Structure formats: structure tokens, C-alpha cells
Structure 1
């Protein structure tokens, strides 16, 4: 399975043309992956911490993204766990995201492939991402993923349904449902939250949700644009 991931990354790394987007595109807050790429020569960090009331565990997490083009990026992330912000490595992934198409002015689709070296059972996850807008202020994102073990068995599948509303050009609200199906089914999980753009390259966020008990989270997204682009 590791060879499959490596070949995939090498094939799509040949995509080289891109444009720079004025405002950052973050996977935070929430569970849904964004359908958008970060942009050519853009490095972006998405960091946060979640707290689960049922276990009193903290889950510090960071996700790093680098864009080779408007259509292709590589990414990597980790999740830690513990009662004192550290201890166990829950997940360590390396992957890539590719923009499949701009279906029309309102919708896009992309695909994310990643391999988790840190999970108890090493696995590959392939996720299809679809985004569409009802209006300039209201849009939704759908994630459908499949989790495959190193011996090519299907471990599970996941879904995320995210609805986001922009209050203005700096802040917005979201609500989403997420869970798993196929080999194991999770109860209906959900979360909701708020994001605020300090400027085009820095975003803050908070959320609250239900996943076998209440959980809370907060984080920041920080984008480093190409040198030719100035912070606004």
C-alpha cells in the first residue's frame, strides 16, 4: 500500500501551473477537508487542540500543506493525545490533494490520498471532496472516504456533511454531521463553530461538538504566501 501512495504522489506532482488566491482556504474548523488547494508556492499550517469531556483527554494537532500548483498540493499532519497535552501519537499522515475539476462556477471536486504511519493499524485513506454553493454566503462541502489496510482490506468508510454561512468577508459559522459506516457504524456525530479572518493569511476558529460525549476545540490557520505577495 505504501508503494501505491508513492506512485500516486509522483504521478500527480507533474501538475505545475497555478494562481494565488487572495484569502486562505483552510480545513479548519470542523472535520471536513476543503475542496480548494492552498495555491502555488504557498505553505500553510493548520494547528489546534481538542478536548474530549468523556475522557478528559487533550488532542493537540497540526496539519501542514504546501501547494505546487492551484490543482495540486502535498500535506502532512499529526494528532497527539493525553491528559497533559502530549504522550501518545494518535496519527501521523503524509498525503496529497488534487483538484479534479471546476464543475461550474458554483461547484468543485477534489481527491485526497493519505497514508497514516502513526495509527495502531497503518492504513491508507482515499477521500472524495465535493463543494457547492447556494449563494455567495452559503455553501456546503461533502467528504466521502474509504479506509484501506496494508493488505488491501477495506477497514471502514467515512462521511462528513458541512454547511457554512459567511456572516461577512471576515467571519462565518458552520455546522456539520460526520461518522463512519461499512464495517463499523458510529452514532450520529455533529459539531458547529465559528471562524474569524484576522487578515487574508491568518484565521482563528472555535468549535463544539458531540462524539460519544461533548468535545471542544480551538485553532489557528497561518498561511505563508509567495514572496511576491504582501500580507494584507
Structure 2
């Protein structure tokens, strides 16, 4: 269950731009990976903690992103778990995200490729990401991914569909459905959340959802742009 909730380091974004923007664009909160890359020479840290009611488990996680160009970023993340607080490494991923579309397109698509060194069964995940806007305030993000083990056998496939609404320039909300399918792993889960942009480089967030029981979470995104070119 925890692997599903945090599969991609978990995220949505209401702003759909790939180049450096005046305000950050985060994967948090939510399960959907954003179509965005962070932008050239931008470092971004997305950190949070989630609580699962069914097993009284606290699960901290962090995801680090750095833009090599406007279209390409490298990223890495970890998830901690365990009956004793954060005593076990549940996941440690290294990956990259590449924007397939032109940076000025209204509708965008990208690919995220990650390898998990920390899972019980090491695996590779490839996710196709698509994002677009209905209006200036209402947007959506869709993820469709596949997870394979080191023997190139398919573990499962995953999906996320996220609808986000910008309340104003600082606040936004979202609802989404997410889960897995293939190999008798069919799941349908839901969550919803909220973000607040403190300034152009710092954002707070919170969410609540259902995934074999109630889970809640909160976190932040912190961005360091080294230059704006």
C-alpha cells in the first residue's frame, strides 16, 4: 500500500510550465507526477510525512530535483517506514524526467524513468505524464506507468488522474483517483488536498485520502533557483 501512495514521490502541480517560472511548480501534494520539469539550474526539495490509520504508521519522504535544462531534470527520493518511527528504508530512487513537448505548449507531456534501489524487490518504473488546462484556474494531470523487476517481468501498472483548481495566485486545491492494475493488483483509491504558496520559492501543503484505510499528510516544497536564464 505504501509503495502505491508514494510511487513517484508523490505530486501534482496546477501551473503547467517547464521553464523557470516566477513561482515554483511542485509535485506535492498528491500522487500524480507533474508534467513539469523544474527548469534549468533549479534545485527543488519536496518533503513530507504521511500517517496511515490502519497500521498507525508514520512515513516520512523526500524528493530532490535538479534541472539540467528546460526539458531535462535529474531526481532522487527516499521513503522511510517501519514500526519504530522511520527505522526502515522503504524506497530509494534515482531517476530523470524529460519534457516531450515544446515548453510553450498549453498541453504538455513528459516521461519519468526511475530505478528503486531500496525496495524489497528492486524495480524500474516508467511513467508517461500528460497535463493540460480547461481554464486559467482548472487543470488536470494524468499518469500512466509500468513497473518491472530486474528480470524484466511486469510487477504492475499504475494510473493517476488529478483535477486541480487554483483559488488564487497563492492557494489551490485538488482531487484525484489513483491505483494499480495488472497481475491481480487492481486498486481504486482517492485523495484530496490543498497548497499554500508562502512565497515564490516556498510552499506548504496538506492532503487526506483513502487507500485501504484513511491516510493524511503534510509537507513543503523548497526551491533554489541558481539563475533565471
TM superposition score normalised by structure 2: 0.89
Residue 67 in 1 paired to residue 67 in 2?
yes
Residue 146 in 1 paired to residue 146 in 2?
yes
Equivalent pairs counted in the alignment come to 212
Unaligned stretches of 5+ in structure 1? 1-17
Q: Contact 1:58 / 1:84 at 8 angstroms: preserved in 2?
A: no
Question: Alignment partner of 1:111: what SS?
Answer: strand
Report what 2:136 is aligned to. 136
**Larger-Rg structure:** 1
Report what 1:206 is aligned to. 206
Per-residue displacement from partner, 1:124-157 (whole Å, max 9, x unpaired)? 0000000010001000000000001101111110
Per-residue displacement from partner, 1:5-40 (whole Å, max 9, x unpaired)? xxxxxxxxxxxxx94211111110000001011010
- The 2-side partners of 1:184 and 1:87 are apart by 30
Residue 51 in 1 paired to residue 51 in 2?
yes
Residue 29 in 1 paired to residue 29 in 2?
yes
| Residue pairs, 1:76-95, within 5 angstroms | 76-95=76-95
Q: Contact 2:133 / 2:140 at 8 angstroms: preserved in 1?
A: yes
- The 2-side partners of 1:142 and 1:19 are apart by 20
Per-residue displacement from partner, 1:104-143 (whole Å, max 9, x unpaired)? 7421000000000000110000000000100010000000
Note the C-alpha offset of 1:83: 4.1
Report what 1:106 is aligned to. 106
Q: Contact 1:60 / 1:85 at 8 angstroms: preserved in 2?
A: no
Note the C-alpha offset of 1:188: 1.6
- The 2-side partners of 1:97 and 1:24 are apart by 17
- The 2-side partners of 1:186 and 1:211 are apart by 12
- The 2-side partners of 1:201 and 1:161 are apart by 26
Report what 1:178 is aligned to. 178
Distance change >3 Å, CA 22–CA 103, structure 1 → 2? closer
Question: Alignment partner of 2:100: what SS?
Answer: strand
Report what 2:189 is aligned to. 189
Per-residue displacement from partner, 1:50-94 (whole Å, max 9, x unpaired)? 000000000000000000111000000000013443111110000
Note the C-alpha offset of 1:185: 2.5
Report what 1:120 is aligned to. 120
- The 2-side partners of 1:131 and 1:104 are apart by 13
- The 2-side partners of 1:103 and 1:226 are apart by 20
Q: Contact 2:94 / 2:116 at 8 angstroms: preserved in 1?
A: yes
RMSD: 1.6
